[in-house]
Amino acid sequence: MVAAARALASRQDDALFHDPYAEPLVRAVGMDFFTRLLDGEVAGADIEGAGADLMVHLIAVRTRFFDDFFVESGVRQAVILASGLDSRSYRLPWANGTVVYEIDQPQVIGFKTAEMAALGAAPTAELRTVGVDLREDWPAALRAAGFDPVQPTAWSAEGLLVYLPPAAQDKLFDDITALSAPGSRLATEYHPDGAATIGARSKAISEQWGADGANLDISDLFYTGERHHVVDYLAERGWQVSARTRPEVYAGYGRSFPDTELLAPMRDSLAIVATRQ
Ligand code: SAM
């Protein structure tokens, strides 16, 4: 879904980035709905702004936010948590000598690695992939792949937290903190309105997509339950944290976040950048 949005976002007149790998990866996955979305066979405009057009704009802005984070971080060791079909390791202008670790479930890592090779894509940094479940001992797997905790690291957790149970989210940040030398940086997002709203919204999106022929319920993927506020959680663990709301991040890229009632809960979502003291 995210790769499909990136493929469409790359075609926008005022595109915030260009991801040439997103479209071939989506076609390789071969889910009919997303292929038809790329072929313009699914309506983009929709009821109250909750469908494909919104998703493309959200992912466009989110992608550029994380792109900028890595490019501006100035560190030579990066970890992309839950890398999915994100192609940053193949398209960002990483500084010479940068090592990028990508962590995701083994099947996801295996699929993307094979497809990128088939496309003839070459990483723009030294890429080391780590196939492991983030609810398990991923720090051990990361170290086994060569990760050096003495060096500062740039970490991203993009489109991930809602897929982890609340306790796993805490453990993720505890583990990141333990592995982060002073000067390390972390970018992530937080949705203060909680999983309840996200669940309801994703249900509405799934229903609309169902009407368009998709057979998937993305609300099944989310974990509900109270979560710690990421800003407070990180600040209490020695990170200096800055956060911007979604309209602020949109404005930074010359875009405005739609002012509709259905989307009101999403307005408070935060884009977070933290630096380890
Ligand atoms: N960050 C990527 C991006 O923006 O393109 C992918 C986002 S995708 C919505 C969520 C990713 O989280 C998927 O690739 C999925 O495999 C991964 N994920 C979810 N739960 C996970 C877990 N427990 N361990 C490892 N990866 C997980």
User: What is the pTM for the complete model shown?
Assistant: 0.95
Does ligand 1 come within 6 angstroms of the Cβ of 159? yes
pLDDT for the residue 47:
47
Task: Give distance in angstroms: CA of 229 to centre of ligand 1.
Answer: 20
Q: Nearest-5° angle of CA 96, CA 80, CA 143?
A: 85
For residues 44 and 5, is the Cβ–Cβ distance under 8 A?
Answer: no
Task: Give distance in angstroms: CA of 134 to centre of ligand 1.
Answer: 9
Give the three-class secondary structure for 74: coil
pLDDT for the residue 190:
94
Ligand 1: which of 1, 23, 87, 104 to mutate, judged by most atoms within 8 Å of the beta carbon?
104
pLDDT for the residue 197:
66
Give the three-class secondary structure for 242: strand
Nearest ligand 1 atom to alpha carbon 108: 16
pLDDT for the residue 259:
83
pLDDT for the residue 221:
80
Q: Nearest-5° angle of CA 62, CA 64, CA 66?
A: 70
Does ligand 1 come within 6 angstroms of the Cβ of 86? yes
pLDDT for the residue 198:
66
Task: Give distance in angstroms: CA of 83 to centre of ligand 1.
Answer: 6
- Tens of pLDDT, residue by residue, the chain (277 residues): 999 999 999 999 999 999 999 999 999 999 998 999 899 888 765 545 556 788 899 999 999 999 999 999 989 999 999 999 999 999 999 999 999 999 999 999 999 999 999 999 999 999 999 999 998 999 999 999 999 999 999 999 999 998 999 999 999 999 999 999 999 999 999 988 765 666 666 677 677 777 777 777 777 788 878 899 999 999 999 999 999 999 999 999 999 998 887 788 889 999 999 999 9
Does ligand 1 come within 6 angstroms of the Cβ of 189? no
Q: Strand 126-131 vs strand 99-104: parallel, antiparallel, or unpaired?
A: parallel
Task: Give distance in angstroms: CA of 222 to centre of ligand 1.
Answer: 11
- Three-state SS letters, 192-207: CCHHHHHHHHHHHHHH
Task: Give distance in angstroms: CA of 208 to centre of ligand 1.
Answer: 23
Does ligand 1 come within 6 angstroms of the Cβ of 158? yes
pLDDT for the residue 53:
82
Nearest ligand 1 atom to alpha carbon 86: 5
Does ligand 1 come within 6 angstroms of the Cβ of 105? yes
pLDDT for the residue 46:
55
DSSP states along 98-116: -EEEEEE-HHHHHHHHHHH
Task: Give distance in angstroms: CA of 82 to centre of ligand 1.
Answer: 4
